[in-house]
Structure 1
Amino acid sequence: MSRLTSEAADGATSFAGEQTSAMDAIRPVPRISIQAFCETESVAKPIERAAEDRRMAKAHVRVHMGGVRAATEHYAGAPTPNLVILESKAAPGELVGELDGLAEVCDPGSKVVVIGHYNDVALYRELIGRGISEYLVAPIAMSDLMAVIGRLYVADDAPPIGRTFAFVGAKGGVGSSTLAHNVAWSISQLFSSDVVLADLDLPFGTANINFDQDPAQGIAEAVFSADRLDDVFLDRLLSKCADHLSLLAAPSILDRTYDFDVDAFTALIEIAQRSTPVVALDVPHGWSDWTRSVLSRADEIVICATPDLANLRNAKNLVDTLTRSRPNDKPPHLVLNQLNIPKRPEISPEEFAEPLGLEPIALIGFDPGAFGTAANNGRMIAETDVKHPAIEAFQHIAHVLTGRGEAKRAKRSNGLFARLKRK
Structure 2
Amino acid sequence: MNAPWKSGGGNGRDQFAAYICDEASLDVLRPVAMEMGWQPEKCNKGGLRNAVQSLSITASPNILLVDLSESGDPLNDINALAEVCEPGTIVVAVGQVNDVRLYRDLLASGIHDYLLKPLSPGQLRDSLSQAQAVFASPKNHDASAAKEHISTAVIGTRGGTGASTLATSLAWLFSADDKLSTALLDLDIHFGTGALCLDLEPGRGLTDAIENPSRIDGLFIERAMIRANDNLSILSAEAPINSPLMTDGTAFIQLEEEFRQAFDMTVIDMPRNMLINFPQLMGDVNVVVLAAELTLASARDTIRMLSWLKANAPQARVIVVANKVQANLAEISRSDFEASIETDIDVLIPYDIKAASMAAKLGQTFVDANRSSKAAGAMRDLARKVSEREADASASGKKSLLGKLDFKSMMSKAKKAEPAE
Q: Please classify the TM superposition score into its range, dividing by the shorter chain length.
A: 0.5 to 0.7
Cα deviation code 1:274-329 (max 9, x no counterpart): 110101000013255444222343111111011101100111000011112233x2
C-alpha distance 341-208 of structure 1, shift in aligned 2 (>3 A): farther
2:326 is aligned to: 340
Of the candidates 217, 225, 245, which is equivalent to residue 232 of structure 2? 245
Q: Provide the aligned C-alpha RMSD in A.
A: 2.7
AA aligned to 1:304 is A
> Paired residue for 1:369?
354
| Number of the residue aligned with 1:349 | 334
Counterparts of 1:353 and 1:341, CA distance in 2: 15
- The aligned residue for residue 378 of structure 2 is 393
Q: Which residue identity is paired with 1:359?
A: D
Distance 2:246 2:298 in 1: 26
The match for 1:209 is 196
Q: Which residue is equivalent to 2:404? A: none
Which structure 2 residue ranges, 5 or more long, are not aligned? 1-142, 394-421
Match of 1:284 in 2: 271
- 1:256 pairs with 225, 230, 243, which one? 243
Match of 1:178 in 2: 165
Correspondent of 2:205 among 209, 214, 218 = 218
Q: Contact (CA 8 Å) 2:213, 2:250: kept in 1 or not?
A: no
Does the Cα contact within 8 Å between 1:333 and 1:358 map onto a contact in 2?
no
Q: How has the CA–CA distance of structure 1 residues 195 and 173 changed in structure 2, closer, same or farther, with 3 Å as cutoff?
A: same
Is the CA contact (8 Å cut-off) linking 2:285 and 2:316 kept in structure 1?
A: no
CA contact (8 A) 2:275 2:281 kept: no
Q: Please state if 1:293 is matched with 2:280.
A: yes
User: Where do 1:66-81 residues align within 5 Å?
Assistant: none
Match of 2:252 among 257, 265, 285: 265
Q: Is the 8 A contact 2:207 2:237 kept in 1?
A: yes
Q: Which runs of 5+ in 1 are unaligned?
A: 1-155, 408-423
Q: Residues of 2 paired with 1:350 and 1:263: CA distance?
A: 41
Q: Is the 8 A contact 1:161 1:274 kept in 2?
A: no
Q: Show the counterpart of 2:78.
A: none
Q: 1:289/1:314 Cα in 2 relative to 1: closer, same or farther (>3 Å)? A: closer
CA contact 2:210–2:247 (8 Å) conserved in 1 = no
TM-score (norm 1): 0.55
* Alignment-derived partner of residue 169 in structure 1: 156
Counterpart-to-counterpart distance in 2, 1:386 and 1:160: 27
**Alpha-carbon deviations, 1:122-146, whole Å to 9, x = none?**
xxxxxxxxxxxxxxxxxxxxxxxxx
Q: Secondary structure at the match of 2:354?
A: helix
Q: Is the 8 A contact 1:260 1:290 kept in 2?
A: no
Given candidates 288, 294, 306, the residue that maps to 1:307 is: 294
The answer to whether the Cα contact below 8 Å between 1:161 and 1:275 also exists between their aligned partners in 2 is no
Query: Aligned partners of 1:271, 1:204: CA distance in 2, in Å?
Result: 24
Q: Which letter maps to 1:360?
A: I
In the alignment, what sits opposite 2:312? 325
Given candidates 351, 359, 364, the residue that maps to 1:379 is 364
**In structure 1, what is the Cα distance between the partners aligned to 2:246 and 2:184?**
21
Aligned residues: 250
Please tell me the residue identity of whatever aligns with 1:375. A
Q: Using the alignment, how far apart are the partners of 2:221 and 2:242 within structure 1?
A: 23
In the alignment, the residues of structure 2 paired with residue 271 and residue 367 of structure 1 have an alpha-carbon distance, to the nearest angstrom, of 36
Q: Decide whether the 8 Å contact of 1:262 with 1:289 is kept in 2.
A: no
Q: Percent identity, aligned pairs only?
A: 26
Q: Is the CA contact (8 Å cut-off) linking 2:352 and 2:375 kept in structure 1? A: no
Closer, same or farther: CA 224–390 of 1 in aligned 2, 3 Å: same
Following superposition, the deviation at residue 195 of structure 1 comes to 0.4
Match of 2:266, SS?
strand
Taking the aligned partners of 2:214 and 2:275, their CA distance within structure 1 comes to 23
- Using the alignment, how far apart are the partners of 1:271 and 1:238 within structure 2? 12
User: 2:367–2:379: 8 Å Cα contact kept in structure 1?
Assistant: no
d(CA) in 2 for partners of 1:218, 1:373: 29
**Match for residue 139 of structure 1?**
none
Please report the TM-score for the alignment, with normalisation by the length of structure 2: 0.55
